Structure formats: C-alpha cells, structure tokens
Amino acid sequence: MDQIFYWPQAASSIASRIDTLFNVLNAMALFFIILIVGCLVYFVVKYRRGTNADRSNPPDESLTLEIAWTGIPILLCIAIFGFSTWTYLQVMRAPKDAKPIYVVAKQWMWKIQHPQGRWEMNELHVPLGQDVRLIMTSEDVIHSFYVPDFRVKQDVVPGRYASLWFKATKVGAHHLFCAEYCGTKHSGMVGTVYVMEPADYQKWLHEGNAGGTLAKQGEQLFRELGCGGCHGPGSNVRAPLLDGVYNNPVPLQEPGGSTKVIIGDERYIHDSIVNPEQEVAAGYKPIMPSFRGQLDEGKVRLLIEYIKSLSTANGGRAGGIKEVEPPAASKAETAPLASRPQARPDTAPLAGATTDVNVRTSGQE
Ligand SMILES: [Cu+2]
C-alpha cells in the first residue's frame, strides 16, 4: 500500500509496515461495521411489525456459528498481535551500526549535534538510506520527537536518554513536530528533517564544524573546566582516570560497604557529571562537585564524547590524560579505577578494555 491522499508520505524503511498495520485494522473495523449494521438494518426491515415474515420455530442454537464467531476473531487477533509485535521490535531495536546523532529538546526548540562537530537548531540533516540513531534528552520538560513521514515518535524526558532510529528512504524535507504539550509555545516547536544524498550529507557535515568533532570540543571544555586537575594522572586529588571508563565495568561503592559493578555507559558518564554523589566509584570519596546547572545537556554531551573517545582510540588511552604510574602511597587504595591494563594488569576492573570491545564501541567517525 503506498499512499492515501490524506496521509503524509511514507519516507522511512518502517513506514510502510506501520501503514499496513493501520490499514488492516481500519479495513477490519470497516468490514465489521458493514456486516453488523447491514444485518441490523436487514432484520429490522424484515421483522418490522406488520410484515408476514416467518416467525415460527426460530433456531436457538448453532454450533457452527459459535465456533466461527469465536475462532475467526481469535485468529485475527493473534495475527495482528504477531505482526505488530514484530514491527514494534524492529522500531525499538536500533541496528548496531546506526550513526548516532544527539538531540537536546528544550522549551521550545530542538538542538541537534552531529558527532563530527556540526550542530543545528530545529533542523536535522540525515543521509539517505543509512540507519540513523537519535540519542535524545530534554533540558526541562517532556517533549516528543515526531516525524510523521517516517512514522516515528519518541518521548524525550529530562534526566534520561531516549533513543529513536530510522532509515530515511526519500530525499527532501520532512516535518518535525514536538508531539507532547510542553508549554506556551509548544505549537511552535517545529522543525524540518532534511534527507540528503550521502555524498551531499558528507559535504554538508564538513562545511560547518570549525570546532572539530564533539570529542575534540569536549576535550577543550574538559580543559576549560579544569577537570584534569583531579582526573589527570599527576593530580594530588584522588579521582579516577577516565580513559577506559566507557563501556567497561565500573565498580561502585554501595551504602553498606559492598561493591556493585556496572557498565560505564553514556548514562553513567552523564550522571557522574551532573549528579556525582549518586554513584561513587569504589575506593574513592564523594568529593566531586556537581555540574548540574552549570553545563547544559549539549555541553555534557561534549564531555561524554570526549570521555568515550578516550576509550575507543588507541586501545583505551588517548587524548589529554596520559598514562603515568600512580604515586606509590595511593596505589593500593586507588587500584580499581586508577589502574590501567597496560600499567598494572594484575588489578584493573576497568582494564577489561579488550580489543573487540573497543572495536564494537567506536561508534563515531
Ligand atoms: Cu516540546
């Protein structure tokens, strides 16, 4: 089924499947409306008062009929359930190699950051025929990223990352709406998604990123904020080194004194910046100041990209933090996060940075 005149065009790889589901449900509803209303009208006319229709010996039982009206709807429901679940899983699971693009929603605009460094407002440029994964968060209230032509919509909630993926199949401009009432100018929170030929997209990407990649900008910000003063290898303050944190196990201090190991994903890095006392790396004191309110989500993203780059380049070490042997006195206490695989292979939960992990996590170019 291609397009019905009152529908937006179908411009993504999953759009036609959503449309099929919608059409099947509509067709079934229409079929039963006609069947039921048709029978109703027919019998009302046939058995109206005064007609000489045959009213003797009405059938009060029909096994065939009962099996039919129970069995057929059950089969239809199972088929719809199966098809829609399959579609839902496709929509929710982004392909592994989908290109990440970062989205921050705020009253009343969409800010988009491409890993290569270019950013844009209320516009999103994407390449044709490539899987794109949006990683989104909000500065203030709940918004919802909605592109009708792609048949995708995802709520964007402050304090967490939401993800949405699609593969655009038609070059051109497509409407972008906020689909969650988010305040006075909600209706003005609109934008455009531009689908470009991949070559044009590459050209476009490199036209406007004077500041370098997000990771590079993050490195700059990391310096400006003085993060290296504590997280640098030569620091007197005991703070974890950050290379190797991303996508590797991080041991956390639990209230009872026990340790819990989590994976240092984007969520963890984000929360460690804005809410550092919440999850304290085992063996460290909760002395990091919170950057909540000082950094907007776009800037936090820069730092995350920088910290990610430390784990994906050079087998876990690169950028501004260079490897040094920790001072002898603090060596034993700081073992978990401060040690590096290359330096001290005997300790090192974070040292789990194996080559295949690093390959798998190098999500940007
Ligand atoms: Cu909104």
340 CA distance to ligand 1 middle (Å): 43
Confidence of residue 43 (pLDDT cuts 50, 70, 90): very high
Q: How far apart are CA 330 and CA 349, in angstroms?
A: 17
* CA 347 to the chain's CA centroid: 34
pTM comes to 0.74
> Strand, coil or helix: what is 360?
helix
- E strand intervals along 206-313: 249-253, 259-263
Model pLDDT for residues 1-19, shown as the tens digit of each residue: 455 567 888 889 999 999 9
DSSP 212: -
Mean pLDDT of 324-334: 38
295 CA distance to ligand 1 middle (Å): 21
Answer whether 249's CB lies under 8 Å from 352's CB: yes
In this prediction, residue 273 carries a pLDDT of 87
110 CA distance to ligand 1 middle (Å): 8
In this prediction, residue 318 carries a pLDDT of 35
Instruction: Please provide the distance, in angstroms rounded to a whole number, between the alpha carbons at the two ends of the chain.
Output: 37
Burial letters 148-159, b for 16+ CB under 10 A, else e: bbbbbebbbbee
Task: Evaluate if residue 349 carries a pLDDT over 60.
Answer: no
299 CA distance to ligand 1 middle (Å): 20
Q: How far apart are CA 49 and CA 71, in angstroms?
A: 35
Mean pLDDT of 348-364: 33
107 CA distance to ligand 1 middle (Å): 6
Kindly tell me the sign of the dihedral angle through the C-alpha atoms of 136, 165, 163, 183: positive
161 CA distance to ligand 1 middle (Å): 16
Q: How far apart are CA 52 and CA 39, in angstroms?
A: 19
162 CA distance to ligand 1 middle (Å): 15
Confidence of residue 323 (pLDDT cuts 50, 70, 90): very low
Q: How far apart are CA 175 and CA 159, in angstroms?
A: 26
Confidence of residue 345 (pLDDT cuts 50, 70, 90): very low
In this prediction, residue 66 carries a pLDDT of 94
In this prediction, residue 350 carries a pLDDT of 32
205 CA distance to ligand 1 middle (Å): 26
136 CA distance to ligand 1 middle (Å): 13
183 CA distance to ligand 1 middle (Å): 7
240-243 long-range contacts, CB within 8 A, separation 24+: 240/281, 240/284, 240/334, 240/337, 240/338, 241/321, 241/337, 241/338, 241/340, 242/307, 242/310, 242/321, 243/310, 243/311, 243/316, 243/317, 243/318, 243/319, 243/321, 243/340
Residue 327 sits at φ, ψ, to 5 deg, of: -55, 145
Share of the chain above pLDDT 90, in %: 44
* Dihedral-angle region of residue 319 (phi above 0 means left; psi in -120 to 50 means alpha; beta otherwise): left
Q: How far apart are CA 188 and CA 198, in angstroms?
A: 30
Mean pLDDT of 186-195: 94
Answer whether 354's CB lies under 8 Å from 337's CB: no
Mean pLDDT of 56-76: 91
Model pLDDT for residues 12-38, shown as the tens digit of each residue: 999 999 999 999 999 999 999 999 999
Q: Which of the two residues, 77 and 289, has the higher pLDDT score?
A: 77
Task: Evaluate if residue 64 carries a pLDDT over 90.
Answer: yes
44 CA distance to ligand 1 middle (Å): 51
158 CA distance to ligand 1 middle (Å): 12
Task: Evaluate if residue 271 carries a pLDDT over 90.
Answer: no
In this prediction, residue 302 carries a pLDDT of 86
In this prediction, residue 281 carries a pLDDT of 81
Give the C-alpha distances (Å, rounded to integers) separating 46 from 39, 52, 55, 59, 81. 10, 9, 11, 17, 38
193 CA distance to ligand 1 middle (Å): 16
Are β-strands 109-113 and 119-121 bridged in parallel, bridged antiparallel, or unpaired?
Answer: antiparallel
The mean-pLDDT minimum among 81-85, 157-161, 204-208 falls in 204-208
187 CA distance to ligand 1 middle (Å): 8
Mean pLDDT of 216-231: 82
335 CA distance to ligand 1 middle (Å): 45
Token reading at 88 = 């839902």
> Strand, coil or helix: what is 323?
coil
Task: Evaluate if residue 74 carries a pLDDT over 90.
Answer: yes
185 CA distance to ligand 1 middle (Å): 8
Task: Evaluate if residue 71 carries a pLDDT over 50.
Answer: yes
139 CA distance to ligand 1 middle (Å): 11
178 CA distance to ligand 1 middle (Å): 5
120 CA distance to ligand 1 middle (Å): 17
125 CA distance to ligand 1 middle (Å): 20
278 CA distance to ligand 1 middle (Å): 28
138 CA distance to ligand 1 middle (Å): 9
Mean pLDDT of 67-95: 93
- Out of 191-205, 221-235, 288-302, the most confident range is 191-205
The DSSP element (H or E) to which 227 belongs, if any, is none
Q: How far apart are CA 359 and CA 241, in angstroms?
A: 21
